[in-house]
C-alpha cells in the first residue's frame, strides 16, 4: 500500500476510495463487525441506508468479479471510521470477513439514498431481519440523538444470531424474536409489529423480501390510510452501483427504479409487490 | 493496491519529446469521420448514457462511449433477477430496458453536444425497417458522433433467430442503416454467428465503417436449491474476464480478413488486456463489465497505453495494431501514420 492512508484515489469527485481495516470483532453469531478508516469527508456523507460497494477479492484476481453492497452500520466522522456488519454466507462476504487489521479495502461509495425521518415523527418503529439490522442501528442512533422514541424489533434464527443490546442507545426499546424461541418471541419478528402500529408515526424495515411481504400483510388491516408510513431497503444483486447497468431494478408504481441510485430505500406503498 | 489507479506514473515535463499518438479514426472511409483522441471506449450497457459516470470519473478523457442499447419504443426490460455472477464473469438479461429513441433524444443529445467526448448511440430493433427508421432519426440529431448497430442482442428473441448469426441478414440491416444515415456506422457482431468472419465481411461490403466485437456469449446458471435458472429470463449474456480468450480469437480472425477498423472487446480489465486486443488487430477497444468493478479503469488503460508506448518507443498506436499476425493484416487507415 503506497500513498496517503485512506486518501481519495485520483479525481476528487471519484467515489472509489481506499479504506484501512482498523478493527474486527465478532458480532451476531457468525458475523463480523468490520471497522474501516476512510477520509473523514466520506464518513461525514453517511446517512442511514446508504451503502458502499466493496471489492471482495485479492489484488490481481478476477474472482469473485463484482463488488458487494454493504450498508453502513456505524459512522464516526471525528475518527473517520465506518463500520460494516459482514455475514459470511458467500465467497465475497467470506473473504471480507477474513480480513485482518491493516489490510486495505477498495470501496465505491457512499451510494444510494437514505431513510428519511418525517420532521413531525416522534415514535419510530424499526423492524430488522438478521444482518438487515445494519442501517437501522445507524438510524436508531440518529433518531435517539434527535429526541425521538424508538422501538427496535429484531428477528434471528436463534439467540446467538441477535445483536448485543449494547450496540443500540439505551433509550431504545429493543424487542427480539427467534425462530426457535431461544430468546424473546418464538416466531417471526413481524409477529411483533401489530403491538406497535398504532403507536408508530413511521416504520423502517430492513431484511429479506419475505419479511417485507409478511410485514405488509400484517400491516394492511391495521393501518389507517397510508399511516404509518413504511420505508423498506430493497436488497438486489448489483453490478455497477451507479444506475448504469439496470441489473438491480425494483418495480414501482412509477416504473422500474434502480435500487443502487433511486434506492435502496423505497416507500413500501410505492413498490409493486 | 494495484487495482486502483493513482494517476499517470509521472507528469510530462515541458522538455519531454512530443507524446505518443494514441488517436484513431474509426470511420476513415466516411467524410464525417469518427476521430478519437485515444482508442479506449466505454462499452454499451456498461456506461448508461454517460451521465451516470460523469460524477465519478472524468468522462471527457475517454476515447468515446457507447450508450445503452436503445429501441424504437420504450422498454421496461426483463423481470428480476437480471444478473448473476459466474466464475470471473457475469450473466445479464436486462432485456433492453430503455426510454426509447424519443426518450433518448429528449434528454441526451443536447448534453452530449456540449461534451468533448464522442457519444455513440447503440441501437437494437426487431426488423430491418425499424433499424433504418431509428438511424434516420439519429442522423438529424446534434451531439451524436456515430451509431453502433446491435445485430446481436441475445435476450430479445423475435422469431427465434438473431440477425447477427447470419451474414445475409446482418448485411441487410447494415445496408438499410447505411442508406438512412451518413453518420459513422459500427456494426457490433455476435459471437453466436456460425462464422463471424463471414458476417464481418458481409457488413463491410454492405457499408459499415467499422465492426465491433464481441457481444456477450449466451449462457446460464442454475440455482440448485430452487432447481430453477438463476435469471428470470433463464439465459443471459456472459461477459467479463471469462470470455476474453474467445473474444481475442474472434478479433484476431476478423481483423485478419476485413479492411475496415475493428473495435475489440470482451473481458478487457487491464492495459495488458487492451494491448492484446490491439495486437490481435483491433484499432480501438471497448471496456464493459470491468467498469462496473472499477469505474476509473478506462482512464487507467489510457494512461497505461501511453506509458507503455513511451517505454517501447512506439510513436503511433498503429504500429501495434495487428502486430500479433505473423504475416500482418490488411492495411487499414484508422491511424494517421499507417495511412501515409
Written in H, E and C, the secondary structure of B85-125 is: EECCEEEECCCCCECHHHHHHHHCHHHHCCCCCCEEEEECC
Q: Given pLDDT bands bounded at 50, 70 and 90, which one contains residue B91?
A: very high
Q: Return the CATH fold of A9-111.
A: Elongation Factor Tu (Ef-tu); domain 3 (2.40.30)
Whether the Cβ atoms of residue A136 and residue A126 lie closer than 8 Å to each other: yes
- CATH fold of A123-234 reads Rossmann fold (3.40.50)
The predicted structure's pLDDT at residue B255: 97
pLDDT digits (tens, 9 = 90+) for B111-121: 999 999 999 99
- Closest approach of chain A CAs to the CA of B201, in angstroms? 31
Contact: B77, A256; criterion CB under 8 Å: yes
CB contact under 8 A, B52 and A108: no
Tell me what the pLDDT averaged over chain B comes to.
Answer: 92
The one-character DSSP state at A242 is S
Pinpoint the alpha helices (H) of chain B.
Answer: 51-54, 100-107, 109-112, 128-139, 167-180, 196-205, 244-255, 271-280, 289-293, 297-312, 336-339
Q: Which residues of A touch B83 (CB under 8 A)?
A: 237-239, 245, 247-248
What was the pLDDT predicted at B154?
Answer: 43
Residues in chain A, total: 273
Residue A257: strand, helix, or coil: strand
Q: Which of B248, B258, B261 is nearest to B146 (CA)?
A: B261
d(CA B278, CA B283): 6
Q: Report CA A190 to chain centroid distance, whole Å.
A: 18
Q: Give the per-residue pLDDT at B330.
A: 86
Residues of chain A with CATH 3.40.50.80: 123-234
Distance, in angstroms, between B340 CA and closest chain A CA? 38
pLDDT, position B14? 60
Q: Do A14 and B53 touch (CB under 8 A)?
A: no
The residue-averaged pLDDT of B278-300 equals: 97
Kindly list the distances between the CA atom of residue A212 and the CA atoms of A116, A159, B229, B232, in Å, as whole numbers in the listed order.
18, 22, 24, 21
Could you tell me which of A224, A187, A226, A211 has the C-alpha nearest to residue A136?
A: A211
Q: Is A12 on the interface with B (CB under 8 A)?
A: no
pLDDT for the residue B159: 59
| B223–chain A nearest CA distance, Å | 14
State which H helix or E strand residue A46 sits in: none
Cα A46 from chain centre: 12
Residue A177 pairs in a beta bridge with: A155, A185
* Cα–Cα–Cα angle for A105, A110, A114, rounded to 5 degrees: 140
Q: Which of B2, B3, B44, B300 to mutate to test the interface with A (most CBs of A within 10 A)?
A: B3
pLDDT for the residue numbered A1: 31
C-alpha cell at position A149: 422514541
Q: What angle do CA B92, B51, B137 make, to 5 degrees?
A: 80
| CB-defined contacts A:B, below 8 A | 128
- CB–CB contact B56 A60 (8 Å): no
Report yes or no on whether pTM surpasses 0.90.
Answer: yes
Kindly report, residue by residue over B248-279, the tens digit of the pLDDT. 999 999 999 999 999 999 999 999 999 999 99
Grid cell for residue B59? 468522462
Q: Please give the share of chain B, as a percent, with pLDDT higher than 90.
A: 86
pLDDT interval class at B318 (50, 70, 90): very high
CA B58: distance to chain centroid? 19
Q: Assess contact for A77 and A44: CB atoms under 8 A.
A: yes
Strand extents, DSSP E, chain A: 16-27, 31-37, 51-54, 68-71, 74-76, 81-86, 104-111, 123-129, 149-156, 173-178, 185-186, 202-206, 229-233, 249-252, 255-258, 265-267
CA distance A97 to A90: 10
Give chain A's mean pLDDT: 92
Instruction: Identify all chain B residues contacting A253, using CB atoms and an 8 Å cutoff.
Output: none
Give yes or no for a contact between A106 and B4, defined as CB atoms under 8 angstroms apart.
yes
Alpha carbon of A237: minimum distance to chain B alpha carbons (Å): 7
* Cα separation of the two ends of chain A: 46
Do B56 and A256 count as a contact with CB atoms less than 8 A apart?
no
Please state the domain extents for chain B: 36-79+94-219+238-319
Length of chain B counted residue by residue = 340
Residues of B designated catalytic: 153
- B158, burial (CB in 10 Å: exposed 0-12, middle 13-18, buried 19+): exposed
Give the pLDDT confidence score for residue B18 in this predicted structure: 74
CA A92 to chain centre: 17
A80, three cell numbers: 473517520
Residue B193 has pLDDT above 80, yes or no: yes
Q: What is the DSSP letter of A231?
A: E
How many whole angstroms from its chain centre is CA A209? 14
> Chain A, 101-120: which have a CB under 8 Å from a chain B CB?
104, 106, 108
Please tell me whether A206 is known to bind a ligand.
no
The highest-level CATH class for domain B36-79+94-219+238-319 is alpha beta
- Report yes or no: A4 at the B interface, CB cutoff 8 Å: no
Shortest CA gap B186–chain A (Å): 22
pLDDT score recorded for residue A9: 36
* B283 vs A39: CA distance, rounded Å: 40
For chain B, the farthest-separated pair of C-alpha atoms sits apart, in whole angstroms, at 65
Answer yes or no: is pLDDT of B5 > 60: no
Chain A residues closer than 8 Å to B94 by CB: 245-247
> Which residue ranges of chain A lie beneath pLDDT 50?
1-14
Which of A10, A55, A104 is nearest residue B5 as measured by Cβ atoms?
A: A10
CB atoms < 10 A from the CB of A24, how many?
Answer: 18
B169 compared with B335, residue with greater pLDDT: B169
Predicted pLDDT at B331:
76
Contact assignment for A64 to B294 by CB distance below 8 Å:
no
Report the distance separating Cα A125 and Cα A148, nearest Å: 11
Element spanning A91, H or E: helix A91-97
pLDDT confidence bin for B17, thresholds 50/70/90: low
Q: Does A245 touch chain B (CB under 8 A)?
A: yes
Residues forming CATH 2.40.30.10 domain(s) in chain A? 9-111
The Cα B285–Cα B278 span in angstroms is 7
Q: What is the ipTM metric for this complex?
A: 0.90
Which pLDDT value is given to residue B333?
80
In this structure, of B54-63, B73-82, B106-115, B154-163, the range with the lowest mean pLDDT score is B154-163
- Residues in chain B closer than 8 A to A249 (CB atoms): 77, 80, 82, 97
| pLDDT at residue B61, rounded to an integer | 97
B11, three cell numbers: 507528469
Minimal-distance CA residue of chain B relative to A67 = B293
Amino acid at each position: 500500500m503506497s500513498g496517503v492512508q485512506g486518501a481519495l484515489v485520483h479525481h476528487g469527485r471519484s467515489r472509489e476510495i481506499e479504506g484501512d481495516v482498523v478493527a474486527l470483532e465478532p458480532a451476531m453469531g457468525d458475523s463480523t463487525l468490520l471497522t474501516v478508516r476512510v477520509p473523514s469527508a466520506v464518513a461525514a456523507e453517511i446517512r442511514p441506508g446508504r451503502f458502499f460497494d466493496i471489492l471482495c477479492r485479492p489484488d490481481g484476481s478476477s474472482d469473485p468479479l463484482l463488488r458487494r453492497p454493504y450498508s453502513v452500520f456505524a459512522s464516526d466522522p471525528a475518527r473517520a471510521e465506518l463500520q460494516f456488519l459482514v455475514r459470511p454466507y458467500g465467497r465475497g462476504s467470506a473473504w471480507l470477513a477474513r480480513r485482518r487489521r491493516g489490510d486495505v479495502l477498495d470501496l465505491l461509495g457512499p451510494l444510494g439514498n437514505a431513510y428519511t425521518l418525517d420532521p413531525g415523527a416522534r415514535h419510530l418503529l424499526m423492524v430488522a431481519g438478521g444482518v438487515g439490522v445494519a442501517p437501522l442501528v445507524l438510524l436508531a442512533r440518529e433518531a435517539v440523538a434527535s429526541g425521538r422514541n424508538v422501538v427496535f424489533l429484531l428477528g434471528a434464527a436463534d439467540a446467538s444470531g441477535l445483536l448485543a443490546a449494547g450496540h443500540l442507545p439505551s433509550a431504545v426499546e429493543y424487542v427480539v424474536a427467534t425462530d426457535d424461541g431461544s430468546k424473546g418471541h418464538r416466531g417471526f419478528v413481524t409477529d411483533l409489529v401489530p403491538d406497535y402500529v398504532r403507536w408508530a408515526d413511521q416504520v423502517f424495515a430492513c431484511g429479506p423480501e419475505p419479511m417485507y411481504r409478511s410485514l405488509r400483510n400484517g400491516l394492511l388491516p391495521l393501518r389507517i390510510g397510508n399511516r404509518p408510513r413504511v420505508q423498506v431497503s430493497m436488497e438486489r444483486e448489483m453490478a455497477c452501483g451507479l444506475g448504469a447497468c439496470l441489473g438491480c431494478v425494483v418495480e414501482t408504481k412509477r416504473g422500474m427504479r434502480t435500487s443502487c441510485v433511486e434506492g435502496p430505500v423505497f416507500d413500501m406503498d410505492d413498490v409493486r409487490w | 493496491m494495484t487495482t486502483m489507479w493513482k494517476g499517470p506514473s509521472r507528469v510530462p515535463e515541458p522538455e519531454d519529446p512530443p507524446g505518443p499518438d494514441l488517436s484513431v479514426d474509426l470511420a476513415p472511409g466516411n467524410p464525417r469521420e469518427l476521430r478519437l483522441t485515444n482508442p479506449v471506449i466505454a462499452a454499451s450497457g456498461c456506461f448508461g448514457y454517460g451521465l451516470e459516470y460523469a460524477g465519478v470519473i472524468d468522462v471527457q478523457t475517454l476515447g468515446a462511449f457507447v450508450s445503452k442499447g436503445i429501441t424504437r419504443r420504450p422498454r421496461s426490460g426483463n423481470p428480476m433477477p437480471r444478473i448473476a455472477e459466474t466464475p470471473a464473469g457475469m450473466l445479464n438479461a436486462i432485456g433492453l430496458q430503455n426510454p426509447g429513441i424519443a426518450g433518448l433524444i429528449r434528454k441526451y443529445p443536447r448534453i452530449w453536444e456540449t461534451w468533448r467526448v464522442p457519444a455513440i448511440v447503440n441501437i437494437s430493433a426487431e426488423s430491418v425497417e425499424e433499424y433504418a427508421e431509428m438511424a434516420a432519426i439519429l442522423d438529424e440529431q446534434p451531439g451524436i458522433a456515430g451509431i453502433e448497430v446491435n445485430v446481436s442482442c441475445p435476450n430479445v428473441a423475435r422469431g427465434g433467430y438473431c440477425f447477427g448469426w447470419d451474414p445475409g441478414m446482418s448485411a441487410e440491416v447494415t445496408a438499410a442503416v447505411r442508406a438512412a444515415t451518413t453518420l459513422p456506422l459500427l456494426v457490433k457482431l455476435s459471437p453466436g454467428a456460425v462464422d463471424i468472419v463471414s458476417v464481418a465481411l458481409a457488413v463491410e461490403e454492405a457499408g459499415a465503417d467499422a465492426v465491433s466485437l464481441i457481444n456477450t456469449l449466451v449462457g446460464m446458471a442454475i440455482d440448485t436449491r430452487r432447481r430453477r435458472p438463476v435469471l428470470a429470463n433463464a439465459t443471459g449474456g456472459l461477459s467479463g474476464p471469462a470470455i476474453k480468450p474467445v473474444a481475442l480469437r474472434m478479433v484476431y480472425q476478423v481483423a485478419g480478413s476485413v479492411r475496415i477498423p475493428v473495435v475489440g472487446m470482451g473481458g478487457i480489465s487491464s492495459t495488458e488486456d487492451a494491448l492484446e486486443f490491439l495486437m490481435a488487430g483491433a484499432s480501438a477497444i471497448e471496456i464493459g463489465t470491468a467498469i462496473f468493478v472499477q469505474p476509473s479503469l478506462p482512464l487507467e488503460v489510457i494512461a497505461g497505453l501511453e506509458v507503455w508506448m513511451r517505454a517501447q518507443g512506439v510513436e503511433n498506436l498503429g504500429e501495434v495494431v495487428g502486430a500479433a499476425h505473423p504475416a500482418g493484416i490488411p492495411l487499414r487507415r484508422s491511424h494517421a501514420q499507417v495511412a501515409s
